[in-house]
């Protein structure tokens, strides 16, 4: 029996995103008063709970998409990485330099490079086949 190992690395990343999303939910549940820092602002109070839930929701979506190599997951992961980089840059400027934030930014940039490199795994094969059909010489 032969297993399908196509995109195994991305599928493993998907599993990690599912774990991250679950851990995010647990942390939010255990520490509801944590002031989430987003775009240079510390979000506090009862409404911050809804703001904090975006993180596990997106992590779980990316995890599912990577696990099943869904084409939309590629764009979502890059958009969320950009969102995170802009937010963390603003946090650094507002709250001062922090090595954990800096480490997050470096690893996010490496993640973006890797996901761009692996883009072919996320292409919709049906769409790619239609796009690359050869036109016969007689149709000119």
d(CA 40, CA 95): 7
Task: List the chain residues with pLDDT less than 50.
Answer: 1-3, 127-132
**What is the pLDDT at residue 130?**
47
Overall pTM surpassing 0.85 (yes/no): no
The pLDDT assigned to 45 comes to 80
Q: What's residue 136's pLDDT?
A: 53
Phi-psi region at 62: left, alpha or beta (left = phi > 0; alpha = psi -120 to 50): alpha
Selection from 80, 87, 96, 69 nearest residue 21 by Cα: 80
């Amino acid at each position: 029996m032969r297993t399908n190992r196509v995109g195994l690395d991305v599928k493993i990343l998907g599993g990690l995103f599912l774990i991250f999303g679950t851990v995010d939910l647990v942390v939010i549940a255990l520490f509801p008063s944590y002031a989430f820092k987003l775009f240079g602002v510390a979000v506090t109070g009862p409404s911050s709970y809804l703001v904090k839930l975006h993180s596990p929701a997106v992590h779980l979506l990316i995890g599912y998409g990577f696990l099943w190599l869904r084409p939309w997951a590629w764009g979502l992961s890059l958009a969320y990485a950009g969102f995170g980089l802009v937010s963390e840059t603003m946090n650094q400027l507002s709250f001062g330099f922090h090595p954990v934030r800096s480490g997050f930014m470096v690893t996010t940039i490496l993640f973006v490079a890797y996901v761009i490199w692996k883009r072919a795994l996320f292409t919709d094969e049906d769409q790619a086949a239609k796009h690359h059909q050869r036109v016969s010489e007689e149709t000119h």
